[in-house]
Structure 1
Amino acid sequence: MARPLSWSAPRPPPTSSWVILGSIARVSGQADEDGRGPHISIALTAPPRVSILSPRVFPEPATPQHFPFVLAADPSGLLLLQANLACPRHREDIELPVPDRWAYCWRSSKSRYFVLDATTASAFHLPDPRRPILHQAMLGLLASPEGGGHYMVAELQPFIGGDAATLLCFSTEVGEWVYKPMDYPLPRRQLAPSCVVSHHGRLWWVDLSWGLITWDPFADKPVLAFVPFPPGTVLECNEGFGITDRYRHVGVSDGKLRFVDTYMSRREGGGAPTVSVWTLADPDSTEWTLEHEATFADIWADKSYKAAKLPKEIPVLALIHPENPCVVYFFLERQLFGVDVRARKFVHCKVYGLVAPPSWYVASRFVRAWVLPPALSSGNWSYGMNWAESVNERPYQPSRGDYFLGGFTIQT
């Protein structure tokens, strides 16, 4: 069901074609039962500050286990939002992509999914599929190349240890969820999904320890393909579990896929702490090129970094600039700052103000680089700081399951 959508814009700062969007939205109140009034708002603010989405489609206060989360931000103006809702623990049966095989899982939450369209000022509540969505980090959004506001939402459901997978797809042109059996090209290895990126008319499932799985749903005969990370950067299975998105990131910058890595220098004998930016030459390639690299010692030596009075500590990776692949953003304490890796120069720095998590628990999954559609990139902005940190004064001890996207992949 379509809902009205509003974008707040009190006074315009300098225009920009993109924003840093916080993944966890601020809950602005329960959804109206009568459907009246704006249900989604956002105060856009220039990078490196963070813009925060405020939906009213989320019916209960956010907690570290149940929260509204932006899974994807597409340049077409589409956002994919999920909301984890608490519910009694229950069993879910899962039909496997092989004949007469079933699995089951226990869940204590129920998810709702929404597609928000900034260009048409609407929000659409996706219907529940007949079979469950297994892993929220495997769910991606792709605008149709034909335009017209059409899009596809798809989840890859691999059967690890076999040669089969299922693609669970919702298309606005079909209007319902469909299941597409696919050949699965990867060797047996448990996936550690991080996010799904849309690029060049394809979806790219990101495993920050291993590489990318890609799929073109609009090809005559769509198939899954795998792009491993550069030699020497592929991690062992389960290496870095739960922390890879603090030190690695995959994003689109200047029309190409980029892999940013600070993890390798953390390995024993890895050398000086370094940030590396790798580029995939084209979507059909499996070869990465090392474009830029700098040590943090060089960055700390920059006069602008010293002037910002930031500590000489290894920061947490946030994202790459979507237009300038030389510039990478990092979290450090409560600041978000940019670095020109090629020039080894500090760029700028601001207090970011995420809704969640606390500053000592941030990772790249908590922000999205959103290239704005023309309707929003022409000065439709508002200043605004977010005060989530000020309400987190008491000590907080995150657990392994806090602010993680729920789900699993099936294996034999």
Structure 2
Amino acid sequence: MASSPPSDESDPWVILRTVLRVHTWDRDLFFELVDPPRLSFLTVSTRVSPARPPPLARRGTSSVIRHPRILSADLSASLFLTVTPTPQPTASSSSASTSAATDICCFVLDAASCTSHRIPDPAPGFARFGVIAAPDGASFMVVGLRCSIGNDRASLHCFSSRTGVWVTKDVNNPRPHRTWTFSDVIAHDGKLWWVDTTTKGLLYCDPFADQPSMSFVPFPNHVTAVEARAKASAYDYVQVADGTLRWVHVLCDLDETEDGAPILNGAPLLSIYAVLGGDDDGYRLDFELLPHWRGDFSFCFIWESDTFKAAEMPKYEQPVLALIDPNDTDLLYFFLGDYLFGFDIWKHVVLGYAPHGMDDTDVSSSSLLAWKLPPALAAPAARRYCIDLF
């Protein structure tokens, strides 16, 4: 049985799955919108993606996408960069164009204007593409990044919808002796932010500048005596919430049983920081619940909550952070077994829970987006029914 928190009619939002559904109709975009903690879906037509994606990727090709999915998004502009297997050729397609098709292709979906744009294939060798709206809102840019270890220069590979072509821009590499491993690209405050949880920081720039300059913001030094132990593990998550970039750090202290299997030793600890403005301002602790823990929130508050016990979800299983409520940074959503639930970390109460229906392999924060709805979709009627953008 699902339970939902009261919805904020003034600023509605949904939890959007990054894996897309495909339908055989002619219309490009179709949204199924429901209130959190239930999941909303974006469905695309077969013009954007084949109805039956190839089940296996061919070796030696770039085809690693079995199902269409959202690769990146500028959520404030309702732009979604999607990657999909190559659409099936139509009857009018020539054999030459069919043979020239790549294994995967990219579309930018504009939910506000009900349009989709297939972008030309980018050059190889660039990592983790992001999408961002132009400052005037009349166009968008798709940007990939290439940083070589030991080289103090890097490259931005940029496609502008205004020009319709790719260009490569030379930029600085602020950490030339580090290997970058990007887990996400976030559009925020007119910049693209590449999230690297291995290097522990954010690499960012304004891609619309004539001469873009890359900057790096390290995550705060959050090593504790517990985390320094060899058996401890941690994970990080970055999201825009309440108009600010938030970094969430979750520390899990692990021990091993006699058979070598890891077990949780106590409750995980969680800290939230806010980005204030780059290298000069750095970070500040967003709130401080327990001063002697430097603001760490213990997961034991979840397990001991009367509302959690009343929900009869699995106790002492380790919740996995899913996302932050974009309107209320005290409200976090977690995966727990087959459920997704919201928990107010200040009041220590569960605010909504529902089965998520996802496979175990998809249960991660990268599989969901917290999306504030554009005006065309924000009406209560639009959130009660499946809305056809056309």
For 2:323, the equivalent position in structure 1 comes to: 319
Q: CA deviation at 1:288?
A: 2.1
C-alpha contact 1:233 1:264 (8 A) present in aligned 2: no
C-alpha contact 1:248 1:317 (8 A) present in aligned 2: no
- What's the RMSD between the two structures over aligned residues? 3.0
SS of 2:183's equivalent in the other structure is: strand
- 2:130 maps to which of 129, 140, 146: 140
> Is 1:68 the counterpart of 2:68 in the alignment?
yes
SS of 1:375's equivalent in the other structure is: helix
For 1:397, the equivalent position in structure 2 comes to: none
Alignment partners' CA distance in 2, 1:26 and 1:225? 37
SS of 1:304's equivalent in the other structure is: helix
Alignment partners' CA distance in 2, 1:285 and 1:249? 22
| Superimposed CA distance per residue, residues 176-211 of structure 1 (whole angstroms, 9 cap, x where no aligned partner) | 111111111114222221110011100000112311
Q: CA deviation at 1:140?
A: 0.6
TM score, norm. by length of structure 1? 0.73
- 1:170 maps to which of 152, 159, 184: 159
C-alpha contact 2:84 2:105 (8 A) present in aligned 1: yes
The one-letter code matched in structure 2 to 1:226 is F
> Is 1:185 the counterpart of 2:188 in the alignment?
no
Which structure 2 residues correspond to residues 61-210 of structure 1 after superposition, within 5 A?
Answer: 61-62=52-53, 63=55, 65=64, 66-73=66-73, 74-84=75-85, 110-129=103-122, 131-132=123-124, 134-135=126-127, 138-148=128-138, 150-209=139-198, 210=200
Q: CA deviation at 1:119?
A: 1.5
> Is 1:290 the counterpart of 2:285 in the alignment?
yes
Point out which structure has higher relative CO (alpha carbons under 8 A, 6+ apart): 1
Alignment partners' CA distance in 1, 2:355 and 2:368? 14
> Is 1:230 the counterpart of 2:189 in the alignment?
no
Q: Radius of gyration: which is bigger?
A: 2
For 1:381, the equivalent position in structure 2 comes to: 383
TM score, norm. by length of structure 2? 0.77
SS of 1:53's equivalent in the other structure is: strand
Q: CA deviation at 1:220?
A: 5.2
> Is 1:300 the counterpart of 2:287 in the alignment?
no
- 2:21 maps to which of 22, 26, 34: 26
C-alpha contact 2:148 2:176 (8 A) present in aligned 1: no
For 2:370, the equivalent position in structure 1 comes to: 369
Alignment partners' CA distance in 1, 2:297 and 2:76? 30
How many residue pairs are counted as aligned between the two chains? Answer: 331
Alignment partners' CA distance in 2, 1:382 and 1:132? 43
For 1:212, the equivalent position in structure 2 comes to: 202
SS of 2:286's equivalent in the other structure is: strand
Q: Which runs of 5+ in 1 are unaligned?
A: 1-12, 87-108, 385-412
Q: CA deviation at 1:265?
A: 4.3
Moved more, 311-320 or 183-192: 183-192
The one-letter code matched in structure 1 to 2:353 is C
Q: CA deviation at 1:133?
A: 5.7
Q: Which runs of 5+ in 2 are unaligned?
A: 1-6, 57-63, 88-101, 257-263, 288-295
SS of 1:75's equivalent in the other structure is: helix
Q: CA deviation at 1:233?
A: 5.2
Alignment partners' CA distance in 1, 2:43 and 2:298? 38
Which structure 2 residues correspond to residues 222-301 of structure 1 after superposition, within 5 A?
Answer: 222-232=212-222, 247-263=235-251, 265=253, 272-283=267-278, 285=280, 287-292=282-287, 293-301=296-304
Q: CA deviation at 1:263?
A: 3.4
C-alpha contact 1:167 1:182 (8 A) present in aligned 2: yes
Alignment partners' CA distance in 2, 1:228 and 1:118? 33
Q: CA deviation at 1:20?
A: 0.8
| Superimposed CA distance per residue, residues 312-361 of structure 1 (whole angstroms, 9 cap, x where no aligned partner) | 2111111111121111111111211111223333221112234xxx1365
SS of 2:132's equivalent in the other structure is: strand
| Superimposed CA distance per residue, residues 100-123 of structure 1 (whole angstroms, 9 cap, x where no aligned partner) | xxxxxxxxx832110111121111
Alignment partners' CA distance in 2, 1:273 and 1:110? 42
Q: Percent identity between the aligned chains?
A: 37
